[in-house]
Amino acid sequence: MRAFGLVAVLSLAALAAPAFAQDLEFELINSSSYNLNELYVSPASADTWGDDILGMDIMPAGTTGTVTITDGLETCAYDLRFVTDTGAEVTSTQDLCELGTFTLHD
């Protein structure tokens, strides 16, 4: 059985940080060889995950998309949880006010 390792690599873009209580937006690049079936984003202070923001959609390997967080909270620290089509998971905590691009690699 082959072990799966998904690594999240952060690339900061030179974008101005949004003001509090505005939408938070970042570019998600799936440079892995796996499809993303689920994506959860929740404030780092939360004890539970929110809804799967991909819903019925998937993010195929090699694609890019924009993720927008519209919860209206005055926080920048968010937990991110990615689930692939093989069931593998990777989590990360990021400052979404400063984040421009988030890239997933094998």
Domains and CATH numbers, the chain: 7-105 (2.60.40)
Average pLDDT on 80-84 reads 96
Question: What tokens appear for 13 in the block?
Answer: 């873009």
Average pLDDT on 72-78 reads 89
Tens of pLDDT along 3-17? 444 444 443 333 344
Question: What tokens appear for 100 in the block?
Answer: 């421009």
Average pLDDT on 55-72 reads 93
Give the long-range contacts of residues 89-96, CB within 8 A, separation 24 or more. Answer: 89/6, 90/6, 90/7, 90/8, 92/8, 92/10, 93/44, 94/10, 96/24, 96/26, 96/69
